[in-house]
Amino acid sequence: TRVRRAKADPFRRGAAELESLCSWVRAKYPPNQCAVLEAAVTKHLEAARQAAEGQELNPRRRIRFFRNASLLERAMSNLDAAEAQLLNFAPPDYVLGQMPSLLRHVQSHVVPTDPRRQEFERICRSLGLNDPDHALQDTDEADRARKIKIVCDERGSIVTAVRGASSAALREQLRVRSFRNVLAITTVLMTALAAALALLGFFRPTMIPLCFAPEESGEAVVVCPTAQSAPFSTSPTDTGAPQADLEAVDIDDRIEDAAKPQDVMVVELIGLTAAAVAAAAAIRGFRGSSERLRVPIALVLLKLPTGAITAFLGLLLMRGQFVPGLSALDTSAQILAWALVFGYAQQLFTRLVDRQGQTVLDSVNGADKPQPTPSPP
C-alpha cells in the first residue's frame, strides 16, 4: 500500500546511500583483503531493501499489520550493520571526517556511564574533537597523520561504539512501537466494552438501569437519563402488607416503564464528549516527537472510550449509594450533568498513561537526559 511504501522510502534511500558510499570506497581505495566485508555490506543492503519493499511471503499471509513492523525493524537493523561493516574497511581519512556525526550518534543513544561511550569520547578528545559542533581542524600534515594513526589504531573501538549506538536506537524504536501497540489494543478493547454496554442497555434496558427514585413527602418519581415517570405515592394501600414490599414492587414497575433503550447510549455519548474535551485540553501538555509512530494520537484516542465507560460506571456507583448524599438525583438533566463530570474525570486515570507516553518519547535520542528511576515492585 501507499502507507507502507511511504514508511519504506527512508530505508530505501539509506540503502542507496550506503551502496553508493561502498562503491566510492571500493573505486577510490581498492582494498586488498576486504572482499568478505564488501560482500557482507552487499548482503545487508539487499536484505534491508527486501524488508523495506515488503516482498510477498511464500506462502502468503492475510494478516500483514504486525509483519510490516517487523520488516521495518529488519530493514533498520540491516542498514545499521552495513554502516558498521563499511566503517570497518573504509579508509581512515573517511572515518576521520565522519567522527563528528558519529560522536553525535553515540551521545544520542548511549548513556554516559556506558564504557563504549566513554572510550569513544576519549578517542574524540585525542583527535581534538570536544563536542559534536566542533570541527576537525588540521594544523599541519604531521597533526593529520597523527589523527589518521589514532583512527587506524582505534578503529575497532570506534565501530563497536557506533554499532552499540545503532542497536540502542533500534531498541528505542521497539519500545515506542510496543507502547503504541499496547495503547491501540487497549483502545480497541475499551471501545468494544463500551459498545457492548450500549447494546446491552438497548436490548435489556432494565438489566442495568441508570435510574433514580428521589422521594419526598410520601411521593416518589423515577428519573432516568432520557425520561421520568409520573409521581406516585409510596404509602401502603394495604394495611395488612409490609410497606417495604409494596414500595419495592411499585418502584420496580415504575423503573421498567421509565427506562428507555437509549439511556446507556446517551450517557456514554455524554461521557465520550466530555473525554474529547479533556483530550483537546491535554494536547497542550504533549511536547511532540519526530517519531512517526503516532503515540500522541493513540493517547488521545484512548481517552474517548474511557470517558464513555467512566460516565456509565460513575452513575452506577451513585445509584448504588456509593457516594453519600448523591444517591437520588432529581431530574434527567442532573443525571446527564453527572455523566459529563464522570466522563471528564477519566483524565484522572489516563494522565498517568499520558505521562508514561511522554517518557517513552523522551527516551528516543535522549541518552543524555536523566534516566527515570525504576519504581519498586
Helix, strand or coil, per DSSP, at residue 228: strand
At 271-290, the pLDDT tens digits run 999 999 998 888 776 665 55
- Listed in sequence order, the residues at least 6 apart from 259 whose beta carbon sits closer than 8 Å to its beta carbon are 205, 206, 209, 211, 224, 227
Q: Which of 134-148, 172-186, 280-294, 322-336 has the highest mean pLDDT?
A: 172-186
Least confident of 134-148, 249-263, 308-322: 134-148
Over residues 233-246, mean pLDDT = 54
Q: Could you tell me the CA-to-CA distances from 127 to 66, 83, 97, 106, 268 in Å, in that order?
A: 45, 22, 11, 16, 64
Q: What is the structure's pLDDT at 58?
A: 47
Asked whether the beta carbons of 280 and 348 are under 8 A apart, the reply is no
pTM above 0.85, yes or no: no
The set of cell numbers assigned to 206 is 432494565
Query: What burial class does residue 184 get, using C-beta atoms within 10 Å of its C-beta: 0-12 exposed, 13-18 middle, 19+ buried?
Result: middle
Write 359-362 long-range contacts (CB < 8 A, 24+): 360/175, 360/176, 360/179, 360/295, 361/176, 361/287, 361/289, 361/291, 361/295, 362/287
Least confident of 26-35, 92-101, 292-301, 302-311: 26-35
The set of cell numbers assigned to 20 is 553508493
CB crowding 146-181: b at 16 or more within 10 Å, else e? ebbebbeebbeebbbbbbbbbbbbbebbeebbebbe
Nearest-angstrom CA–CA distance, 337 and 335: 5
